[in-house]
Structure 1
Amino acid sequence: MATKVAGKLAKAGKKAKAAYTPFLKVTIPANQAKPAPPLGPQLGQLGINVPQFCKEFNAKTGHMIDGYPLPTSISINMDKTFSMEIHTPETSFLIKKAAGAPKGAMQPGKECAGMISLKHVYEIAKIKSADSNLDGCSMTRICDLIIGQCRSLGVSVVRELDADEYRHTPCIV
C-alpha cells in the first residue's frame, strides 16, 4: 500500500515521506545488553549498530541492579540513529521481589502469594514515580495503583510487617 502511494507521488513529481518511524519495545536486563539473540537480530534488521546500542544501554543502566528487567522504547530515525527511553522495572516484578514470591497467586481471591507492608508499597511508588507515564500522578494515586496490582497478584498489603510475623503467620486474603 505504501509503495503504491510512493509510486503515485513519484509520478506526480512529489517526494514521498516515510509512512512511519520504526519503533521497538523490548525488555532488556539491566547492564546485560548483548548483541546475541534475541536482541541483536531485532536491532540488526532495523539497521541499528548493535554493539553501539549495547554499549550505550549498559552505560545508562550501570548504576542499577544487574538483571532487573527494564522495559525499553527504542525510536529509530531515517539515518539509522536511535534514541532510547529506559523505564523502571514493571510493577509486578517489584511487588513479587518485595514479597519474596517467585510468581503471583493462581487464584488471587482464594490463595495468597505473599505479604508486603505499606512501607514497601511507598518504596515501589517512589521508584515508579520516575516513569514518564506517571508524571501527573500524585504519590497517593501511584500507591493506590500498586495496591490494586497487589490484589490482582494475590499479595496481601498489611500496615506493618516484621520478620517473625511474616514467617509464622499464614497469609490470609
Structure 2
Amino acid sequence: MSQGTKKMTKALKQVKKKIPPPPFLRTHIKAGEAVAAPPLGPSLGARNIQIGPFCKQFNEHTKDYKPGIPLPTVITLNPDRSVTIQTNKPPVSYYLRQAAGCRKGAIESHEVAGIVTLKHVYEIAKIKSADSCNRGKTLEEVCQSVIGTAHSIGIKVERSLDPKEYQEFLRNREVKLAEHEQKLEEIRQSKMLRL
C-alpha cells in the first residue's frame, strides 16, 4: 500500500469517527423481548439513548402482541432526550410463513417452501395496508406487493388448496429441512475440528 493511500485511509477513518449517527433508528425488535444485548444495545448506546428505560418502555408498549413476533420499529430521539417509539405490524414474510405453516422460506432458488391462497394474500394485505408505508397505496397494490414477497421467499400463491395434499407437502418439507440442518451442523462441526 502506498503512502498516499495510507494517509487517505487514515483521514477517512477520522472523518467517519466525527460523523454522529442519525437521531433515529429503524430496526426489527421482537415483541416483549427488548434487551440491552447486541444488536439493539450498541445501536441505542451510539445514539445516547438509555438502554434500560427504553427496553422497559418498548416491552410495555408491545405487551398486547404475542411475545417473539418481530416488529418493524422506528425509534426517534427527541431534542429533550426522550424517545418516540413507532411500531408497525409484523413483516409480510412473517404473515406469509404463518399462513403457509412453514417455519423457513426457500433454501434453494425455485424451491417451493409453502403455498398460500389468494384469500390469505387479501387478508395479509388488509392488515398491512394500515402501516404508514402503505398509506398512499390501494389494496390491489398492497396485494401485488404481498404476492411479490411470497415469490421472493419461495411461497407459491394459488386460487385454492387441498388440505390433505398440503399436509403431506408440509411433512415432506420438514424432513427436507431436517436433512439440510443436519448437513449444516456437520459442516460446522468439521470447521470446529479444523481449528
Is the structural similarity TM-score above 0.5?
yes
The 3-state SS of whatever aligns with 2:79 is coil
Q: Is residue 134 of structure 1 aligned with residue 120 of structure 2?
A: no
Which string of whole-angstrom CA distances, capped at 9 and with x for unpartnered residues, describes residues 9-44 of structure 1? xxxxxxxxxx98512122110111123333223213
Percentage identity across paired residues of the two chains = 44
Amino acid at match of 1:49: Q
The residue type paired with residue 99 of structure 1 is A
Which string of whole-angstrom CA distances, capped at 9 and with x for unpartnered residues, describes residues 40-91 of structure 1? 2321332222222122211221111110111111111233212121122111
1:146 aligns with 146
Between the aligned partners of 1:139 and 1:103, the Cα distance in structure 2 is 27
What's the Cα RMSD here?
Answer: 2.4
Q: After the TM superposition, which residues 18-97 of structure 1 pair with which residues of structure 2 at under 5 Å, given as runs?
A: 21-97=22-98
Deviation at 1:140, TM superposition (A): 1.7
Larger mean Cα displacement after TM superposition, 153-162 or 36-45:
36-45
Equivalent position SS for 1:64 = coil
Could you state the TM-score of these two structures normalised by the residue count of structure 2? 0.68
Distance 1:76 1:146, change over 3 A: same
The offset of 1:117, in angstroms, is 1.2
Gaps of 5+ in 2: 1-19, 173-195
d(CA) in 2 for partners of 1:74, 1:147: 29
Counterpart-to-counterpart distance in 1, 2:80 and 2:47:
11
Say how many residue pairs are matched.
Answer: 152
Paired letter, 1:163: P
**CA-CA distance at 1:162 after TM superposition:** 4.1
Unaligned runs of 5+ in 1: 1-18
Corresponding residue of 1:14: none
> What letter matches 1:164 in structure 2?
K
Letter in 1 for 2:137: C
More helix by share: 2
Q: Report what 1:4 is aligned to.
A: none
Deviation at residue 107 of structure 1 after TM alignment: 4.3
